[in-house]
Amino acid sequence: MTFFPNGGLVWIQLRPRTRPRIPSNEQRERRSAKIGPPQPDQHEAQSADSESAFDPNSIANQIKERKDFGNLQQKILHKKDSYNKIALILWISDTPLTSGQIHRVLEALDVRMGLPQVSKGLRANISKFLTSAKRQAGGPPATYRLSAQAKADFEARLRQDG
């Protein structure tokens, strides 16, 4: 019981202090056997497999080993147009790539183009690409590949410039 100066009474009931219960080793083992070892997230497993299989240097080497590499450098890689750089990489790789993978190929080619510029270039020309799906929060990143019409237009442009 506590007394206040104005004459009021308040009952305060205190709970007895109890110590937290520490489980024994046997209880810990049973609990961990039920739970099991932590499993990797399905998205993490997929992205780890696709990232480990992706080699930006192989795509960069395919571009560098072309007979018309000097022309590609002059007409595409050393120009400001981001779409043509992205289209060249997707055309050579012929597989769906994420914006991060495209960025790494450009780095392997020693072409300075930041990841935000790659994403903006993809977004500005989205009608020329086929995408895997819209990105969900925490989900796998979208992959891009050239549509058939964009591929034909790009090949025609290469023949015209070459």
Closest of 13, 97, 6, 119 to residue 53, by C-alpha? 97
Say which residue the tokens 């510029």 belong to: 117
Kindly list the structural domains of the chain, giving each domain's residue range(s) and its CATH number in brackets, ordered by start.
Answer: 56-161 (1.10.10.10)
Alpha-carbon gap, residue 44 to 62, rounded angstroms: 29
User: pLDDT tens across 123-140, in order?
Assistant: 999 999 988 877 777 788
β-pairing verdict for 144-146 and 9-10: unpaired
Residue where the block lists tokens 């015209």: 160
114: tokens are 């930041």
What pTM was estimated for this model as a whole?
Answer: 0.66
Would you say residue 86 has pLDDT above 90? yes
Summarize pLDDT for 33-65 with one digit per residue, the tens.
Answer: 666 555 555 545 555 455 567 889 999 999 999
